[in-house]
Amino acid sequence: MVDDDRHGGPAVRRSGLRVWGVEPYFGGSHRAFLQGLARNSHHDLTLFTLPGRNWKWRMHGGALSLARRAAAAAAGGEVPQVLFASDMLDLPVFTAVAGGPLRTVPAILYFHENQLTYPLPPGVERDLGYGFKNLAAAMAADSVLFNSRYHLREFLAAAADLLQAMPDEVPPGIIEDLEAKTRVLPVGCDLRRFERYRDQALVDAEAGRWGDPAAGPLLVWNQRWEYDKAPGDLFDTLYALRETGLRFRLAVAGPNQGTPTAEFLQARARLADIIVQWGRVAGAADYASLLWASDVVVSTAIHEFFGIAVVEAVYCGCRPVLPRRLSYPELIPPEAHDEVLYGEGELAAALARALAGPHAWSEEWQRTWVSRFDWGSIRTRYDDEIRRCWENAMRARVPDAGAR
């Protein structure tokens, strides 16, 4: 990896391919992912990024700013062999504006999310222009990667519907062409970092930092405080469980942007006597301490293309209670589906069962469910995809000897 002056850190030359990571929205999970790839890849990554804010403008104009930077670097003799971009980049605009040798560099497009199927708040109409940017970028890329099979299926189906709705002049075979160059590659996660904090987490738990274990098992909800995670469904279920006399502690963590909604304010008041954490846990050590101390993690999401927060909690030993839909069945091995996944109307029963037996199986076995997503295990798959993209591009440029 070569770290430029925008990111600091030591410059380390590696023996792999020269790769430019291009990210218009360098924040949150996008930032953690790209930094993890740069740290763990055998290839030599240089990052071109913009701050993770103003996502709509990033999708419209981010490519312009990043293309100018990339063109300047290329003019100085630094030409990559592969581009690795996220779904937030308008790839056709980027390559057109960058021009020069960057026009022909093979590109990988990684989909963390997409704007064709991302659920919208009530009353908001979808702007298909952003979804079409995703589609055009995928068409322009040499290789397209999705973080889950669920995400891939959702996107291709929505793209087909979008094209079918167009009035005319839709070239045939677009979806088939996309299918031919798409693959599923789960998000790389830095799970082993949690091991550094495990001993301190035990000390914290014994000191009662996360409440008294005698008050019941600790349930953690570490999702974003957003409508697409359906927090109201969770709170309604917790109210009902409290009325049955079930004893448990509650940690409501995860990032919160803006003023908490009425449902959060009501939940904090009604569940005050069992809450041991309310709001995002900022420090890495503190977050790890909470997850190691927790017994059960729950999701009520109506949208999840992968599920990093759940993966982290599962790694730290939290028994998961997850919907039998979205990307969750891919995170859990089939032999554990009946114990972990719940269907429509089954949340209360599933949560009660988990809280009654949070340690029904070994943490070591459970950790194997998600350890495959750790960078130490998955980095070679990313390296192979990058090299495959470059090799395919090189083969395509060699004239067919039989045509001479």
Burial of 366 (0-12, 13-18, 19+ CB in 10 A): buried
Q: What is the CATH number for 83?
A: 3.40.50.2000
The helix/strand/coil state of 98 is: helix
Residues 94 and 111 in one domain: yes
Q: What confidence score (pLDDT) does residue 253 get?
A: 95
Residues 176 and 210 in one domain: no
pLDDT digits (tens, 9 = 90+) for 54-82: 999 999 999 999 999 999 999 999 899 99
Residues 73 and 125 in one domain: yes
Q: What confidence score (pLDDT) does residue 78 get?
A: 87
Burial of 333 (0-12, 13-18, 19+ CB in 10 A): middle
Report whether 143 contacts 111 (CB < 8 A). no
C-alpha 26/C-alpha 257 separation (Å) is 17
| Closest listed residue to residue 332, CA positions, set 349, 310, 352 | 310
Residue 11 located in a structural domain: no
Residues 130 and 151 in one domain: yes
Residues 149 and 251 in one domain: no
Residues 184 and 333 in one domain: no
Residue 255 located in a structural domain: yes
Q: What confidence score (pLDDT) does residue 14 get?
A: 64
In the chain, the number of structural domains is: 2
Residues 301 and 240 in one domain: yes
Q: At residue 347, what is the residue type?
A: L
| Closest listed residue to residue 369, CA positions, set 400, 328, 402, 404 | 328
| Closest listed residue to residue 63, CA positions, set 7, 24, 115, 27 | 24
Containing structural domain, residue 259: 192-373
Report whether 62 contacts 35 (CB < 8 A). no
Q: At residue 47, what is the residue type?
A: L
Instruction: At 263, list the tokens.
Output: 């449902």
C-alpha 119/C-alpha 126 separation (Å) is 9
Q: What confidence score (pLDDT) does residue 399 get?
A: 62
Q: What confidence score (pLDDT) does residue 201 get?
A: 95
Q: Give percent of the chain with pLDDT exceeding 70.
A: 95
Q: What confidence score (pLDDT) does residue 349 get?
A: 98
The helix/strand/coil state of 183 is: strand
Residues 222 and 368 in one domain: yes
Spans of the chain, pLDDT less than 50: 1-12, 401-404
